[in-house]
Structure 1
């Protein structure tokens, strides 16, 4: 019997949630090994010492979006389209997610959520305000793109929606101004209603 894919990391992390949600969506058996970047098992198995990473047979792979692609490539599905143009568009969003979307909210998440959870003192409002300016720029871009669309690429959910939607996992705790972006709000409701996202909700 084939061993389940092991995905290492705490599901509270939106980046760990990404591959867990994709696996649940596709019906791929996974074992979530809860761990933090500073845990010995992480450094031992994945020298970059970051989560998530996965083990699938002899393959060890890090980076949430790369893991999602690996999982989607194991079955026939529409999450990572075979059509060249649509796959290119999905890839563009996956790179954009890492380069622009995540930096536009992650410092806010640290200040408003992580600091509180770890008792690291009050939030730095200057950091929050500076990051909110980035968030508004990127959210404006996504909101305009989503006008008249249900999904980021084509007529069905893809890895792009899982990646960028997962970034809004803690939107309420971060107090992100999503009400200013109605197209994102409607799209995010669709993303969070996907079976894989429902099964991995924190």
Structure 2
């Protein structure tokens, strides 16, 4: 499993996820192998996705979406990106189910977020196998995964009034570290995307925070 959290602001979004991958075999049983993966990715400069569920399937969806949108501008219509992601998730999930009939209850879920210059609005949508990947718009802050209610409650109690984006990232990371679940790591990865209209430019950052709260930031 995976814990994904996200928050939106007037001109952009911040997505955070844990970094643990728990391997399973072709029948869906855990192998005991665990490694570190990135579950948060840029599709375009103004579009971030975070993904959970089947490990081989999630990254494959992201790579296919990137390839489909490779001829599009770096700053893209949010709805165009969302439609492409929805279609790709449906296609790839159906192929997996067809090719792996003995895999019990496969899961695939994703947050898609970003600022849309056309509507001048920031969005977060959730897509899940549970409702055949129908996009569902999310509130100001949201989470999906083990003990998601605990993460949401922590974000609600600690986010109000914060204007420093570094502090926001710390709150999101801490909301994940509070969850004690064998498939959720205490290490987190966050991506930020904020559109500056007068520059027609998106400012992006990558923030890694380890289990001890030590952070590493990279401007992208």
TM-score tier after normalising by the smaller chain length = 0.3 to 0.5
Higher-helix-fraction structure: 1
- Structure with higher strand content: 2
Question: Given the two structures, how large is their TM-score scaled by the length of structure 2?
Answer: 0.30
